[in-house]
Amino acid sequence: MSDNSLCQIVLYNQLWEQYLYTDYTHFLYIHNIWKINFQGRELQLNTHSKIIDYAGWKHLIESLKEQWKTAEFLIEESFISWIKKYSQQHNISEFVLINPVEDYVFKNFQKIQKQLRKYDIKLTFTQDSQSFFLSHDDFKKQYKKPPIMEYFYRFMRKRENILITDDGKPEGWEWNYDKENRKYDRKHERSWSFELEKNKYWQEAEEYYQFESKFTYPTNRKESLKLIDYFLEHHLDNFGRLEDAMYEDDAYVHHSLLSSSINYGLLTPREVVKAVEQRDTAMNNKEWFIRQVLWWREYMYHFFHSYKDTIYTENFLGHTRPLPEYFWKNPENCPINSLKVTLQQVHSENMSHHIQRLMIIGNFALLCNLDPHELNHWFFEYYTDAFEWVVTPNVLWMSQFADGWKLATKPYVASANYIQKMSDYYKNSQHNPKEKYTDDACPFNYLYWCFVADNKETFEKWRQQFVVKNLEKVDIKRCRELKEKFLKEQY
């Protein structure tokens, strides 16, 4: 039976009907929620996030209106006065909201809840049972604090019965197939060809915002299902092998690009994992993909919620240098090819794959002592799939080591040698990845050795004495001079 006195407030990460209480009559979408202040600064969201937000809800409205429901799209600034007006007009006794997954948004709604109480308007939060396999309460029942990652992975595989035999062993007898993954193929040719036509709401969003987008992401359920079918058919068979490879003219290699569909609630992580599990492909592809969603994605969410109260004040390595301007605009001014290519791609498509995020952008930021919190803000604004619960742990904990040892066992830093091994970025580069001191030496080399020298004790603690030992062969004074000169030129 439909209830006329209840109104569901729908959020930007709940863009599929499965998130709706379909026995309600009223639905409200708050479009300006993005503008909420995040850690003292207003977020300036990127082109593609804005379009997904706008077009995603317009698709939902269309289907709600077909069912004779009242669905509104709130763009006004004054949320409280609008809610008051709306509740009087429609006789609403209670507004209901599925828990926001982002902590800063949740806290904001708690404030709103308090303010509404003054006007006798009730705002109720309900559990989100779709965005993750485990609710954070279930996680806390299982663990007092986040366990060792590998234990959590095995727990999740068994709990969800994914790639597990009848007698509780991992299918194929291994928990992972990493030795078959992370290869580089010099003969690789681009085959990523998924394209969506700009649907009518995508076009409407472009008119509304008065910009044109270069790329299209799914903004409704149908398009998201198309994307997963495309990935399963064309890329899953090579997913594991080339997971970490980077190519200048092939941004996505065999990655799925499913993160935004999952994070905006157009696909559930459970259905994505099931679809991959059922596919007939080599175990290294299946297991690696499933691990990303069932383990990494899930772990990051619970890890974030376990430590969210301290993370924004931590800066273990004490890095405070501002980001160079080419992060924010004109990425073509960046002097290092690997970083330039990645930043240009992020500026035009608001996306890059995980090794570009970790070993190009994150690596550069660590080696140049860039402020991890400013970097987090940058990632949040520039990536389509960025949501607080996933961007913050990945940037601050995983990539920038801002917490010391809570998540990562060591900072992810590398010299040009790694980038050369895993990419073709030196094909068009003015720098030589083999040189440390010459005019054409790749900055990743001298920056790397300065980082090792500055963090000697910490490297030893990571049981990486062999790295520190190699410092003996390096002219560190020269490296420091080059670093200083390089940094001066970036501002």
Ligand X SMILES: Cc1cc2nc3c(=O)[nH]c(=O)nc-3n(C[C@H](O)[C@H](O)[C@H](O)COP(=O)(O)OP(=O)(O)OC[C@H]3O[C@@H](n4cnc5c(N)ncnc54)[C@H](O)[C@@H]3O)c2cc1C
| Residues engaged in binding ligand X (CB under 6 A) | 255-259, 262-263, 289, 292-293, 296-297, 300, 353-354, 357-358, 362, 379, 383, 385-386, 390-391, 394-395, 398-399
Q: Which is nearer to ligand X, 297 or 436 (CB)?
A: 297
CA distance 481 to 64: 63
Q: Which is nearer to ligand X, 33 or 365 (CB)?
A: 365
CB atoms within 10 A of CB 316: 17
> Shortest Cβ distance from residue 294 to ligand X (Å)?
9
> Shortest Cβ distance from residue 390 to ligand X (Å)?
4
CA distance 67 to 22: 9
Structure tokens at 210: 């008065």
Enumerate the β-bridge partners of residue 122: 94
Task: Give the DSSP letter of residue 296.
Answer: I
Cα of 135 vs its chain's centroid, Å: 19
> Shortest Cβ distance from residue 292 to ligand X (Å)?
3
Q: Which is nearer to ligand X, 354 or 480 (CB)?
A: 354
Closest CA to 50 of 171, 239, 217, 279: 217
> Shortest Cβ distance from residue 399 to ligand X (Å)?
4
Q: Are 199 and 220 in contact (CB under 8 A)?
A: yes
Q: Which is nearer to ligand X, 262 or 336 (CB)?
A: 262
Q: Which is nearer to ligand X, 95 or 239 (CB)?
A: 239
Task: Give the DSSP letter of residue 362.
Answer: I
Q: Which is nearer to ligand X, 46 or 420 (CB)?
A: 46
Q: Which is nearer to ligand X, 63 or 135 (CB)?
A: 135
Alpha-carbon dihedral sign for residues 391, 394, 400, 404: positive
The stretches of 243-282 forming alpha helices (DSSP H) are 259-263, 269-277
> Shortest Cβ distance from residue 33 to ligand X (Å)?
17
> Residues 331, 184, 299, 98: what is their CA dihedral angle, to the nearest 10 degrees?
60
Q: Which is nearer to ligand X, 224 or 256 (CB)?
A: 256
| Orientation of helix 149-160 relative to helix 298-311, angle to 10° | 140
> Shortest Cβ distance from residue 87 to ligand X (Å)?
35
> Shortest Cβ distance from residue 95 to ligand X (Å)?
29
> Shortest Cβ distance from residue 423 to ligand X (Å)?
16
> Shortest Cβ distance from residue 400 to ligand X (Å)?
8
Enumerate the β-bridge partners of residue 96: 8, 124
Closest CA to 49 of 268, 255, 264: 264
CA distance 22 to 35: 28
The stretches of 350-387 forming alpha helices (DSSP H) are 354-355, 363-367, 372-382
> Shortest Cβ distance from residue 384 to ligand X (Å)?
8
CA distance 15 to 60: 7
Q: How many helices (H) and strands (E) does the chain have?
A: 22, 7
CB atoms within 10 A of CB 43: 18
The percent of the chain in helix, strand and coil, each rounded to the nearest 5, is 50, 10, 40
Q: Which is nearer to ligand X, 105 or 390 (CB)?
A: 390
Q: Which is nearer to ligand X, 392 or 490 (CB)?
A: 392
CA distance 411 to 299: 18
Q: Are 64 and 27 in contact (CB under 8 A)?
A: yes
> Shortest Cβ distance from residue 288 to ligand X (Å)?
9
CA distance 275 to 265: 16
Q: Which is nearer to ligand X, 407 or 479 (CB)?
A: 407
> Shortest Cβ distance from residue 389 to ligand X (Å)?
9
Q: Which is nearer to ligand X, 25 or 363 (CB)?
A: 363
